Amino acid sequence: MAEKAIMTVINENNEIMDVDVLFTFKNTATGRCYIVYTENTTDENGDTEVFASIFDPEDKTLALSPIETEEEWAVLEAKLREYERAHGEGGLAS
């Protein structure tokens, strides 16, 4: 089994926390890179909560930016479904 990638983030409450990186990918249509990660918490339906952000792989600080368009979210949701199929995860909630 591959070792999980862990990154440290500062959440909206300015709390520092370690999260598991599920995957990254580049959208060839937009040229943007995305990172999908989880705090390993579940929502009210028991699905694992996941988060996604835009990042610049050349930026050593790994500053994350929000995903703002419906088109980007549609691509991301398709990638999440692929990830679930490939990894046999229960439910992922974004």
Q: What is the mean pLDDT of each run of 10 residues along the chain (94 residues)?
A: 76 87 91 93 87 91 88 92 80 56
Residue 26 main-chain phi, psi, to 5 deg: -110, 130
In a domain, 93, yes or no: no
d(C-alpha 27, C-alpha 43), whole Å: 28
In a domain, 26, yes or no: yes
In a domain, 82, yes or no: yes
Residue 66's domain spans which residues? 5-87
User: 88: phi > 0 → left, psi -120 to 50 → alpha, else beta; which?
Assistant: left
In a domain, 59, yes or no: yes
| Number of domains composing the chain | 1
The whole-model pTM stands at 0.81
In a domain, 92, yes or no: no
- Report the pLDDT value the prediction gives residue 1, as an integer from 0 to 100: 47
Give the DSSP per-residue string, 46-76. SPEEEEEEEE-TT-TT--EE----HHHHHHH
Helix (H) or strand (E) holding 78: helix 70-87
- Report the pLDDT value the prediction gives residue 14, as an integer from 0 to 100: 87
